[in-house]
Amino acid sequence: MTVKKAVSLGVGIGVLFIIVLIIYGVTHTFNQTKSEDHLVKGVDLSAYQGEIDWELLADQNIDFAFIKATEGKDYVDEQFKTNWEESQKTQLKVGAYHFLSYETTGKDQASNFIKNVPVSDKILPPVVDLELYGIYEANPLPKEQVKIILDEFLKEVEANYGVKPIIYTTQRIFKMYIGTDYKDYKIWIVDLDNSWPETLPNGETFTFWQYSHRGMMDGYNGDETFVDSNLYNGTYAEFIEEFF
């Protein structure tokens, strides 16, 4: 073996060793044994994932799941009823979310959510999904208009469930519509750069972090190959204490 070949082989082995270490580190971090201080992981799902084998899904080292329930004033996710009932049979902590529309009142949208999501002290708080969609991506509504819809939804839902809803949103929309308001609401922030966001744009801390839209798990057969991956900002003991 020439010196050049030996060096190349050594470099190759070194690179392979580093890759193995990285894989081990990621695997160890995301698949550690359950304990009170383990990393609290979860997913959010909708009809896009098709029929879900909840027992299989729950057995893949996740702790919680948020399920799409409703959108606007009359849309109900076609898989919500089944997903809700089947998820309750697992050890997962489960919650439901509503996709907020800008084309109808917050009160009507809250009524849609309330009609479809049972009240229980064994579930995670309701979530309102605040995003831009369709024509609003290029032409967002003024903050004042969105605030009227959002405030009405939050008020009605809190009155029904006895807990403040969680607000799910991106960094961009947080700056547009949340700002320094809603400091008494828990925030589920979308930040896909895979670096743990230390604080929100207003200096507050987040409760949940959605770090990927391309998680892959076994147990579903829908048109969407991926699931959204999320982490809770705290230990499992803190998670249980905060919500249950």
Catalytic residue among 51, 108, 131, 152: 131
Listed residue (185, 188, 174) closest to 230, CA to CA: 188
Radius of gyration (Cα) for the chain, nearest Å?
21
User: CA 88 to CA 72: how far, in whole Å?
Assistant: 25
Instruction: Extract the tokens encoding 117.
Output: 């999501």
Tens-binned pLDDT, residue by residue, of the chain (244 aa): 544 444 444 444 444 443 333 333 433 334 444 567 899 999 999 999 999 999 999 999 999 999 999 999 999 999 999 999 999 999 999 999 999 999 999 999 999 999 999 999 999 999 999 999 999 999 999 999 999 999 999 999 999 999 999 999 999 999 999 999 999 999 999 999 868 888 898 889 999 999 999 999 999 999 999 999 999 999 999 999 999 9
Whole-model pTM? 0.85
User: CA 108 to CA 243: how far, in whole Å?
Assistant: 27
Catalytic residue among 44, 63, 129, 156: 44
Listed residue (101, 98, 96, 97) closest to 149, CA to CA: 101
* Contact yes or no for 16/54 (Cβ under 8 A): no
Q: Does residue 108 have an active-site annotation?
A: no
Q: Does residue 44 have an active-site annotation?
A: yes
User: CA 12 to CA 53: how far, in whole Å?
Assistant: 41
* Strand residue runs (E) in 46-156: 64-71, 75-76, 93-99, 127-129
